[in-house]
Structure 1
Amino acid sequence: MSRTLERQESGWAWVVLLASMLSQGLTLGFPTCTGVFFTQLQHDFQASNSETSWFPSILTAVLHAGGPLCSILVGHFGCRSTVMLGGMLACLGLVTSSFSTTLSQLYVTAGLITGLGMCFSFQASITVLGYYFSRRRALANALASVGVSLGIMLWPLLSRYLLEDLGWRGTFFVFGGILLHCCVSGAILRPVAPMVAPEPREGLPPPSKKPASGCLAGCSRAIQQHLALDLFLHNPGYRAYTLGVMWMMVGFPLPHVFLVPYAMRHEVDERRAALLISIIGFSNIFLRPVAGLVAGHRRLAAHRTHLFILATLLNGLTNLVCVASADFGVLVGYCLVYSVSMSGIGTLLFQVLMDIVPTDRFSSALGLFTVLESISILIAPPIAGFLLDTTSDYRYVFYMSSFFLISAALFMGTSFCVLQKKEKQGRQAEVGGASAEQDLTHEGPESSRKQLYPEIMYVTSL
């Protein structure tokens, strides 16, 4: 077994890592450039801020919400086919969106179809790293996430460059061809032995034993496997964290959509306005690996939840600095500080989830987590757009973002403090009950002392 792992983590595994890095840069980095097209889309379709903002919100929400469907495809067809299917869907969506005559058509093509394709390519490219890496899996995930930072840096610059010569229609057409390179990344993902084994289907009973189970029973088993509703109801830590992140995500994506229009409204040059998003991406290239090393340190591993809460709080406070001035120098400083908190959130978001839920339930817990998270991502930009239409002041969008981020941090911090206090009281009650029972069953002080230490060791090991 060890020889198999060593063979997987050498040679072709690093080529797979590069392919995963490319796929993540093409997909997860793309939504950050949608703010570059915001003003021109609004002008061409004669639409309000709220109507225009539905395009990036649908794209990003579907990218996150399609996780359970992607896991089903990976279980049946493997990571290679799923990534290639995602690349073709993303290409199809953007190419057809270049011919859209209404915003509703853009919602379906560039929003729904492209978002679903990006979801398949992105999430399958992460899944495949678990098959190729075991001992160095944390390092592989950290290196692969650098692709996201590269995408955040390069997509806005390329968007601004093409937009000047080709307009948004020609740019979307070219972007469709670029996203087709996800198929190249998928072709590199050569199947390995664990991918061939039918492990994803072990949780489902064989159809031959229960042929008359019915559609309802099958749906119930699928929901249990991919959406951890029971865990949400009975695990207070998972429930508090999921609700906190869901609330936080109403404010977190807003700067990615509205920062460029906000800078342009205050007479910042279009190229320099697009450069702001690239500064965030460039900073994350270096900050994400550092954040991963800090989060993985043995002394800080038990405090990942607190680090995530602090990163969320810092992100919300940073947005308040942004609205103080729209000068380009101030906005550059805002982007640098924002990158620190953003890298912390991006690195710890799923690490904290792994710490909260049992290992064997992580897949289903992640499915429900991403679906609920996508609801917030879907409604956040339209709500901010409606606020902007009402007030005609971009500062209120950033105030809104700060409110949701800061309140989410306070909610999660309070919730976990209460849960930790209850857990501590429960352990003390267990120790006290064990001591009282020993006092009743063992009369002599020496025998009592001998029986007490094994019980304390047992409670501590929990």
Structure 2
Amino acid sequence: MRLTRPDKGWSWVVMVASFFIHGLNGSILYGAGIIQVSLLDRFNRSVSLTSWAGGIFIFFMSSAGVIGSWIINRWGCRTAFLIGSVIMTSGLIACVFVKSLSLIFLVYGFVAGSGSGIIYTTGIVVVGLNFEKKRSIATGFASCGAGVGVFILSPVIQLAREQYGNCGVFFVMAGIALNMSVFGALCFPSYLEYYKVERHLADINLSVSSLSLSKKKRIYERVKVFANIPFFLICLSLFSSHVGIYLMYVHLPNFAISRGTSGFEASFLMSITGIMNCVSRLFIGFAGNSEHISTIILYFGTFSLLGISTMLFPFYGSNFVGQAIYAAFLGTYSGCCYVLLATITPNLVGLKNLATAFGIEMTFTGVGTLIGPPIAGFILDSGGTYEASFFLAGSSAIIAAVLGLASEVFHQVSHPTEAFISPENDKLFKEESQQQCDGIITQ
């Protein structure tokens, strides 16, 4: 078998395949608001109860990365794409036939969400295993597929709902999920991936006799990372921010419809968030690489602007124009943290503990996405208003911004020789981190 070398030949096909996989997966992920409207019509239950479906889906999408990583290490990225696609497709098809909302929580939230998480993780990893010198460019291009997919496919999902009903729309979504396996099949193993899997299998054979001591070491590493106060504050920041972010993603379409916006226009709001999310990730990536800008300042600023625009949304969101303006704000500022964490996290915990730290961060993110939408639903069902839930969402984003800044303050206290949020030191660390990451993946 001829293996692809990094940055050459078939690696570019893998990058394009990952772009389309991100697009298809993102359209279903960020279409949670359209699904929320569908479930309200289909089951005629409370807003808070139906909101759990989207929350559970996003939670397992965030949490299934551990499973995805294990599949990749054991069998490779192509197999991981196939398994994730089949799981996700099965869950969405089951949504057509189930008769109770509790079963929707299981097949849509747990099953489809887990499949989506496996695909999401693999879509990121496969690019890293095919590129070295041009990894940042390739990763940025591939991740932009999510925004493009939401922009194009959100109206398609809404039209499918209008054409085929609240049950039939899940068939269309299942077809979208199944097509991810087609693009995943194009991701033949590269030189880096092949030897990564081979080394993992060798490590398994060597560690069988000392399994207990391996377990103890991993537990110690996790406890050590979790006890890091600056890192813990970042985790709390991610939890707080995602309480608000996915509260808005799930409830924005239904709010718009309640204010007289058509269903198709409401779905177009999701398209706006998608394309702005795509553009903002590119710009924040370039800004984060600047020697004059600190990533922690960008982290604080993006969440602050998101919080302010959300708290003020009731004053300008009574018509479609105002709703479209807010959708642009939501898309622009809600996804920047994922780009910035690639620098912030290793700066706090070191490269050795990076994988453990990302796993913990995604858990906090998942819990935030799980409880945010139902909290808003509870406010509405208890006689409150959308305005009150939007104030909660905006406050959560601002708290997240403050916690991010507090993390840097505590980090400075424990590392007094480092300049406070120094752009120069930030740039040096980024360069060193990239070099060390390249070495780790190449080994």
TM-score, with structure 2 as normaliser:
0.88
The partner residue of 2:226 within 214, 232, 244 is 232
| Corresponding residue number in structure 1 for 2:296 | 305
Query: What is the CA distance between 1:314 and its match in structure 2?
Result: 0.8
1:250 aligns with 2:243: yes
Of 333, 346, 357, which residue of structure 2 is paired with 1:354? 346
**Pairing of 1:204-219 with structure 2 (within 5 A):** 206-207=206-207, 209-210=209-210, 213=211, 219=215
Aligned to 1:184: 182
| In structure 1, distance between residues paired with 2:216 and 2:179 | 37
- SS at 1:286 equivalent: helix
Equivalent of 1:195 in 193, 196, 202: 193
Change (3 A) 1:224 1:27: farther
| Structure 1 position 410, deviation (Å) | 1.5
Deviates more, 1:129-138 or 1:356-365: 356-365
- Report the alpha carbon displacement of residue 110 of structure 1 after superposing the two structures with TM: 1.2
- Quick one: structure 1 residues 319 and 208, their matched pair in 2 at CA, closer, same or farther if it must change by over 3 Å? closer
Q: Which residue of 2 aligns with 1:383?
A: 375
Pair 332,209 (structure 1): closer, same or farther in 2 beyond 3 Å: closer
Aligned counterpart in structure 2 of residue 373 of structure 1, from 351, 365, 374: 365
Aligned to 1:320, which of 311, 317, 340?
A: 311
Corresponding residue number in structure 1 for 2:38: 40
The answer (yes or no) to whether the contact 2:127–2:138 under 8 Å persists in 1 is yes
**Structure 1 residue aligned with 2:331:** 339
Structure 1 contact 66–371 (Cα < 8 Å) conserved? no
SS at match of 1:252: helix
Going from structure 1 to structure 2, the CA distance change for 1:349 and 1:389 (only over 3 Å counts) comes to: farther
Matched-pair contact (CA < 8 Å) for 1:83–1:122: no
* SS of aligned partner of 1:253: helix
Instruction: Describe the shift of the 1:202–1:365 C-alpha distance in structure 2 as closer, same or farther (beyond 3 A).
Output: farther
Cα distance in 1 for residues equivalent to 2:291 and 2:30: 33
Q: CA deviation at 1:83?
A: 0.9
Looking at structure 2, the residues matched to 268 and 414 of structure 1 have their Cα atoms a distance apart, in angstroms, of 40
Equivalence for 1:410: 402
Aligned ranges 1:281-296 → 2 under 5 Å: 281-296=274-289
Q: Helix, strand or coil for the counterpart of 1:135?
A: coil
Partners of 2:204 and 2:289 lie apart in 1 by: 34
Q: Distance in 2 between matches of 1:119 and 1:162?
A: 24
Structure 1, unmatched stretches of 5+, are 429-460
1:28 CA drift (Å) = 3.2
Q: Residue by residue, what CA displacement relative to the aligned partner does 1:271-321 show, whole Å, maximum 9, x if unpaired?
A: 112111111112233332122111122333xx1012111111111111022
How far apart, in 2, do the equivalents of 1:187 and 1:18 lie?
A: 12
One-letter code of the match for 1:336? A
Matched, 1:274 2:267: yes
Residue among 257, 267, 280 paired with 1:264: 257
Looking at structure 1, the residues matched to 278 and 311 of structure 2 have their Cα atoms a distance apart, in angstroms, of 25
- Please name the residue that 1:432 is paired with: none
Post-superposition shift, 1:414? 2.8
Q: Partners in 2 of 1:208 and 1:238 — Cα distance?
A: 32
Distance 2:219 2:374 in 1: 29
* 1:7-49 alpha-carbon deviations (Å, 9 max, x no partner): 4212211100011111111223422212123233123212111
For 2:367, give the aligned amino acid: I
Deviation digits for residues 39-66 of structure 1 (CA, Å, limit 9, x no counterpart): 3312321211111001100111000101
Q: Which amino acid aligns with 1:313?
A: S
Whole-angstrom CA distance in 1 between matches of 2:202 and 2:405: 38
- Please tell me whether residue 151 in structure 1 is matched to residue 143 in structure 2: no
Residue pairs, 1:162-181, within 5 angstroms: 162-181=160-179
Change (3 A) 1:340 1:209: closer
Which of 243-252 and 77-86 deviates more? 243-252
Q: Which moved more, 1:34-43 or 1:138-147?
A: 34-43
Q: CA deviation at 1:145?
A: 1.2
1:335 to partner: Cα distance? 2.0
Partner of 2:437: none
Check whether the contact 2:56–2:109 (CA below 8 A) recurs between aligned residues.
Answer: yes
Report how far residue 107 of structure 1 moved.
0.8
Deviations 1:250-287 (A, max 9, x none): 11211110111111111112211211111111223333
Higher mean displacement: 149-158 or 258-267: 149-158
Deviates further, 17-26 or 291-300 = 291-300
| Cα pair 1:98 1:172 within 8 Å, conserved | yes
The answer on whether the counterparts of 1:229 and 1:368 sit within 8 Å (CA) in structure 2 is: no
Cα distance, 1:218 vs structure 2: 6.0
Equivalent residue, structure 1, for 2:427: none
What is the identity, as a one-letter code, of the residue corresponding to 2:47?
N
Amino acid aligned to 1:238: F
Question: Residues of 1 paired with 2:167 and 2:405: CA distance?
Answer: 45
Instruction: Say if 2:102 is the partner of 1:107.
Output: no
Partner of 1:20: helix, strand, or coil?
helix
Contact 2:54 2:250 in 1 (8 A): yes
C-alpha change, 1:189 and 1:427, in structure 2 (3 Å) is closer
| CA shift for structure 1 position 427 | 7.2
Q: Work out the percentage of aligned pairs sharing the same amino acid.
A: 24
Which has the higher mean CA deviation after the structures are superposed, 201-210 or 190-199? 201-210
Q: Could you tell me which residue of structure 2 aligns to residue 118 of structure 1?
A: 116
Q: CA RMSD in A?
A: 2.3
Task: For 1:67-106, list aligned pairs within 5 A.
Answer: 67-106=65-104
Post-superposition Cα deviations, 1:367-396, rounded to whole Å, max 9, x if no partner, equal 121122211211111112111111341111
Greater gyration radius: 1
Task: Return the alpha-carbon distance in structure 2 between the equivalents of residues 393 and 209 of structure 1.
Answer: 60
CA gap of 1:421–1:221, structure 2 versus 1, over 3 A, is closer
**Partners of 1:269 and 1:398 in 2: how far apart?**
21
**What is the TM-score when the length of structure 1 is the normalising length?**
0.84
Deviates more, 1:112-121 or 1:321-330: 321-330
The equivalent residue for 2:26 is 28
Q: Distance in 2 between matches of 1:37 and 1:209?
A: 49
C-alpha distance in 2, partners of 1:427/1:127?
Answer: 32
Given that 1:25 and 1:149 are in contact with CA atoms closer than 8 Å, whether structure 2 keeps it comes out as yes
For 2:372 and 2:418, the matched residues in 1 are separated by 41
